[in-house]
Amino acid sequence: MNTETNQNATLELLITNVIFTKENDDGSVFHIIKTKTQENEDLMVKCVHFNKLLVEQEIVADGKFINDPKYGKQFIADFVEYKQPENSLGVFKYLSAGCIRGVGEKTAEKLLKHFGEDLFIVATKEQNRLHEVLSEKKVQNFVEQWQNINLDKTSLFFLMEHSLTKHRATKICKQYGDKTISMIKDNPYRLIDDFPGVGFKIADSIANKIHFDMDSLHRVLAAIMFTLGENESLGNNCISTAALSEKLTALNINTEKNLRGALINGLETDKLRVQEVDNMDYIYRKAQFYCEDNSANLLAAKLKNKVPNYNLSTPITQSLTDEQLSAVSMALTNPVSVITGGAGVGKTTAIKTILHHLLANNVSFALCAPTGRAAKRMTESTGFQGYTIHRLISQIEELKYEEQKNLGLDPDDSQLNDYTVFEYIIMDESSMLDQRLLNEFLKNCGDSNLIFVGDPHQLPSIGAGNVLDDLITSGIIPVTRLTKIWRQGNGSDIIRIADDVNKGNTLKFDNSSNCILKNHKYAPKKDGEEAYQQCITNIINDLMNTINEQSKLIDPIKDLQILTPMRVSKLGIIEINKLVQELLNPIKFTKNDAGETVPEELKSFNYNFRTGDKVIQNKNNYNKQIFNGDIGYIESINVEDNSLIINFDGNKQVYESEDLSEIELAYAITIHKSQGSEYNTAIILMTYHAFIMLQRNLLYTGITRGKNKVILIGQLAALNKAVSVNDATKRTCFFKLRLINYRQAI
- DSSP secondary structure, 11-31, as one string: EEEEEEEEEEEEE-TTS-EEE
pLDDT for the residue 82: 72
Whole-Å CA distances, 552 to 537, 544, 547, 562: 19, 11, 7, 16
Per-residue pLDDT of 129-150, as tens digits, reads 988 888 887 888 787 777 666 5
pLDDT greater than 80 at residue 205: yes
pLDDT greater than 50 at residue 490: no
- Residue of 84, 63, 82 lying closest to 160 (CA atoms): 63
Q: What share of the chain is helix, strand, coil (3-state, %, to 5)?
A: 45, 20, 35
Residue 302 pLDDT level (bands cut at 50, 70, 90): very high
Q: Are 563 and 572 in contact (CB under 8 A)?
A: no
pLDDT for the residue 19: 87
Give the bridge partners for 85, in sequence order.
none
Sequential DSSP letters for 398-443:
HHHHHHHHHTT--TTS-TTTT--S-SEEEE--GGG--HHHHHHHHH
User: pTM value?
Assistant: 0.75
CA 418 to chain centroid, in Å, comes to 33
What's the mean per-residue pLDDT of the chain? 84
Question: What's the CA gap between 243 and 231, in Å, rounded?
Answer: 10
Whole-Å CA distances, 23 to 480, 570, 582: 57, 21, 22
Question: What's the CA gap between 51 and 27, in Å, rounded?
Answer: 9
pLDDT for the residue 665: 95
Strands 643-648 and 631-638: antiparallel
Q: Are 614 and 655 in contact (CB under 8 A)?
A: no
Range 527-555 average pLDDT: 73
pLDDT greater than 80 at residue 222: yes
Q: Quickly count: other Cβ atoms within 10 Å of residue 180's Cβ.
A: 21
- Residue of 203, 233, 215, 217 lying closest to 271 (CA atoms): 217
Whole-Å CA distances, 426 to 81, 316, 450, 574: 56, 19, 6, 36
Question: What's the CA gap between 522 and 511, in Å, rounded?
Answer: 12
Please tell me which residue, 734 or 390, carries the higher pLDDT value.
734
Whole-Å CA distances, 53 to 11, 146, 589: 16, 18, 25
Residue 534 pLDDT level (bands cut at 50, 70, 90): confident
